[in-house]
Chains A and B, each alone.
Chain A
Amino acid sequence: VTTVRFVDARSAFLGATGDEEVRRGAVARFELEPSSELQSEALQFLIDAMGDESWRVRKEAVARASHWPDRTAAAAALTHALGEPDNVGRRNAAIEALVSYGTEAVPPIVAALDGRPEHRKVLVDTLGLIADTSGVAALPPLLDDGDPNVRVAAAEALGLIGGGAAQAALKAVLKRGELLLTLAALDGLNKMGGRVSSAELMPLLETATLRAAALEALGRTGEVAGLPELMRALVAPARNVREAAVVATAELHARLDEAGQKRLEGELQALSAIQPLVQALLEGTLGVQRAAARVLGLTRRGEAVRPLTLAIADPELRDAALLALVSIGPVGLESLVALAPDLEGRLRADVYALLPRFGPAASDARIIGLLGEALEDDDPEAASGAAQALGEVGTREALAPLLRALERDDQVAAAAADALGRLGARHYDEVRILISSRGLAGPEAPHLIRVIGLCGREADAAFLRGTLGAESSTVRRAAADALAQVGAAAVRTGEGRGLADVGDALLFALADEAPEVRAAAARAVAADPAHLGANAADGLERAAHDVEMAVRSAAARALAAVTLAEGPARVRAAEVLRHLVDAHEAVAAVPALEALGRLGEAIDEPRLIAALEASDAEIVKAAARGLGGRTSPNARDALERALADRRWDVRRAAALALGEHGPSVHPLLYARRTVEQDPLVLDSLDEAMTLALGRARPR
Chain B
Amino acid sequence: MIPGPERPLSRDTFRLLRDLIYEHCGIYFADDNTYLVQRRLASRVDALSLADFMDYYRFLRLAGPEQRRAELDEIVDRVTTNETYFFRESYQLDAFTQEILPDIRTRQPRGRRLSVWSAGCSTGEEAYTIAILLQETGLFADWDVRVFGSDISRRVLSVARKAIYTRNSFRATDQRLLRRYFREVEGKHQVRDEVRQLVSFGQINLVDEPMAMLVGEVDVIFCRNVLIYFDTASRKKVVDTLYKKLVKGGHLLLGHSESLIHLTTAFELVHLKNDMVYRKP
Q: List residues of chain A with CB under 8 Å of any chain B CB.
A: 462-463, 465-471, 501, 503-505, 507-513, 533, 535, 538-539, 541-543, 545, 547
Contacts and interface: CB of A to CB of B under 8 A. Distances in A.
B203 A533 contact: no
Interface residues of B, number: 31
Given A512-B202, A542-B208, A545-B210, 16 more contacts: A466-B197, A468-B200, A469-B196, A470-B161, A471-B161, A504-B146, A508-B200, A510-B202, A511-B204, A511-B214, A511-B215, A512-B203, A513-B158, A542-B211, A543-B214, A547-B65
A583 to B, nearest CB: 13
B69 A547 contact: yes
B115 interface: yes
B150 interface: yes
Contact of B144 (A501, A512, A539, A545): A501
A218 to B, nearest CB: 71
Contact of B201 (A469, A501, A545): A469
A442 to B, nearest CB: 14
B247 to A, nearest CB: 12
Contacts of A466: 196-198
Contacts of B211: 511, 542
A508 B162 contact: no
A468 B148 CA distance: 11
A507 B196 contact: no
A508 B148 contact: yes
A469 B216 contact: no
Contacts of A462: 144
A627 to B, nearest CB: 30
B154 interface: yes
Interface in B151-202: 154, 157-158, 161-163, 196-202
A505 B154 contact: no
Contacts of A512: 201-203
Contacts of B215: 504, 508, 511
Contacts of A513: 154, 157-158, 202-203
B134 to A, nearest CB: 14
Contacts of B52: none
A678 B216 CA distance: 53
B199 A510 contact: no
B270 interface: no
Contacts of B213: 535, 538-539, 541-542
30 contacts: A462-B144, A465-B200, A466-B196, A467-B197, A469-B161, A469-B196, A471-B162, A503-B216, A504-B115, A504-B215, A504-B216, A504-B217, A508-B148, A508-B202, A508-B214, A509-B200, A511-B150, A511-B202, A511-B204, A512-B203, A513-B157, A513-B202, A535-B213, A538-B210, A539-B214, A542-B208, A542-B211, A542-B213, A547-B65, A547-B66
A510 B217 CA distance: 15
Interface string B48-83: 000000000000000001100100000000000000
Contacts of B115: 504
A238 B198 CA distance: 78
A253 to B, nearest CB: 59
Contacts of B208: 542
Which of B196, B197, B217 is most buried by chain A, counting CB atoms within 10 A of its CB? B197
Contacts of B200: 465, 468-469, 505, 508-509
Which of A470, A541, A547 is most buried by chain B, counting CB atoms within 10 A of its CB? A470
Q: Which 8 A-B pairs have the closest CB atoms?
A: A511-B202, A466-B197, A504-B216, A513-B203, A542-B210, A471-B161, A538-B213, A511-B214
Interface string B120-157: 00000000000000000000000010101010001001
Contacts of A471: 161-163
Nearest to A472: B161
A462 B162 CA distance: 20
A545 B209 CA distance: 13
A498 to B, nearest CB: 15
Contacts of B150: 511
B181 to A, nearest CB: 15
A465 B199 CA distance: 9
Contacts of B162: 471
A430 B177 CA distance: 34
Contacts of B158: 513
Contacts of B161: 469-471
Nearest to B245: A535
A471 B164 CA distance: 11
A533 B217 CA distance: 11
A169 to B, nearest CB: 75
Given A513-B202, A538-B210, A508 B216 contact: yes
A507 B216 contact: yes
A511 B203 CA distance: 5
Interface in B84-140: 115
A533 B202 contact: no
A530 B277 CA distance: 37
A374 to B, nearest CB: 35
B199 A469 contact: yes
Nearest to B162: A471
Contacts of B197: 463, 466-467, 469
Nearest to B197: A466
Contacts of A509: 200, 202
Contacts of A501: 144
B198 to A, nearest CB: 7
A511 B211 CA distance: 7
Contacts of A508: 148, 200, 202, 214-216
Contact of B146 (A467, A505, A543): A505
Nearest to A510: B214
A504 B144 CA distance: 11
A248 B200 CA distance: 67
Contacts of A535: 213, 216-217
Contacts of B198: 466
A465 B146 CA distance: 10
Nearest to A466: B197
B199 to A, nearest CB: 5
